[in-house]
Amino acid sequence: MTDPRPTSAFDPANADPAVTGRLVGVLDQLAASPGVRRLRAWAHERLAVAAGERTLDVGSGTGSETQVLAAAVGPGGTAIGLEPHPGLRAVAGQRAAEAGSRARFLDGDALALPLPDADLDAVRCERVLQHLTDPALAVTEMARVLRPGGRAVLLDTDWATFLIHPASPAVRSALATVVQDAAATPDAGRSLAGWLADAGLTVDGVASEVLLHDPRSVTWPLVRGIGVEAVARGLLTEAQCDDLYGELTAAAERGTFHLSVTMFAAAAHRPR
């Protein structure tokens, strides 16, 4: 039988410390982005977690947002981060211990949550559904473990919104293909509210933030990673890639480089 967990960069089988270190670096960088901070603040406000509640952060990564849940529920409540990647789970546990947080981290799969029905007051899930081949099943699981009246927030990227400039239409289209193929479900962002509604929850609101990169510097690890993949797949030639890098560098020197992607969030509750 095939393992239902995704074989993305977050493949739990790959717990090589160097890989974990790279993942942590990317997650920390994103966590510092003003757009991510604003969308997370919106999500926490909508989740409105109260003291004593039982909460879950599905695919908790480094656990920063599980710690926010733990602070909100206080000593009488529960904040669980569900994280299948052993390296990330260890980092999350260590960071929580260092911060004196009561957040705790469990192994588990979004597609089969290890919790009974109607067990939780609130659940959040950020940038996980794009990595799943059956994200709707994961949202059904989140709805199952919520008590009547319990709340859910989902946050995810929509990779069709990836914009890079300057680049010719042909180069843009090759880069967009690579970016979209990298996610199991690249259109997760626009689908969040629909998945919540299909799982029987009442949608209470949606929000978005454009994650805008600094126009004065090319985001080289990301751009080169996409370029290398485009060449390997025969979508671009080496020469086209070199021209692209040159154009982007010149644009960054003038402060006119553009790289952005939009992240969406949706909030819902389980009807009583």
Ligand X SMILES: C[S@@+](CC[C@H](N)C(=O)[O-])C[C@H]1O[C@@H](n2cnc3c(N)ncnc32)[C@H](O)[C@@H]1O
Rank residues 244 and 261 by Cβ distance to ligand X and give the closer one.
261
- Going from the C-alpha of 126 to that of each of 77, 205, 208, 232, the distances in angstroms are 21, 16, 13, 30
Nearest distance from C-beta of residue 262 to ligand X, angstroms: 15
Note whether 90 binds ligand X by CB under 6 A.
no
| Burial of 45 per CB tally in 10 Å (0-12, 13-18, 19+) | exposed
Nearest distance from C-beta of residue 29 to ligand X, angstroms: 10
Region binding ligand X by CB under 6 A among candidate stretches 44-52, 124-132, 184-192, 196-204: 124-132
Note whether 126 binds ligand X by CB under 6 A.
yes
Site for ligand X in 212-241 (CB under 6 A): none
- Look at residue 140 and give its three-state secondary structure: helix
Note whether 154 binds ligand X by CB under 6 A.
no
- Going from the C-alpha of 90 to that of each of 15, 29, 47, 84, 85, the distances in angstroms are 10, 19, 26, 10, 9
Nearest distance from C-beta of residue 115 to ligand X, angstroms: 13
Binding-residue total with ligand X (CB under 6 A): 21
Note whether 111 binds ligand X by CB under 6 A.
yes
Region binding ligand X by CB under 6 A among candidate stretches 3-11, 72-80, 171-179, 227-235: 3-11
Q: Which of 39, 122, 128, 201 binds ligand X (CB under 6 A)?
A: 128
Which bin fits 16, alpha (ψ -120 to 50), beta or left (φ > 0)?
beta
C-alpha to C-alpha distance for 241 and 140, rounded to whole angstroms: 42
C-alpha to C-alpha distance for 26 and 44, rounded to whole angstroms: 22
Q: Are 214 and 33 in contact (CB under 8 A)?
A: no
End-to-end CA gap in the chain: 38
Note whether 58 binds ligand X by CB under 6 A.
yes
Token pair for 190:
């626009």
Nearest residue to 156 (alpha-carbon basis) of 200, 206, 214: 206
Nearest distance from C-beta of residue 95 to ligand X, angstroms: 12
Nearest distance from C-beta of residue 41 to ligand X, angstroms: 14
Residue whose CB is nearest to ligand X in the complex, by number: 61
Token pair for 269:
């509750």
Rank residues 191 and 240 by Cβ distance to ligand X and give the closer one.
191
Rank residues 14 and 215 by Cβ distance to ligand X and give the closer one.
14
Note whether 27 binds ligand X by CB under 6 A.
yes
Q: Which of 46, 105, 109, 248 binds ligand X (CB under 6 A)?
A: 109
Q: Which residues bind ligand X (CB under 6 A)?
A: 5-6, 10, 27, 58-61, 82-85, 88, 109-111, 126-128, 131-132
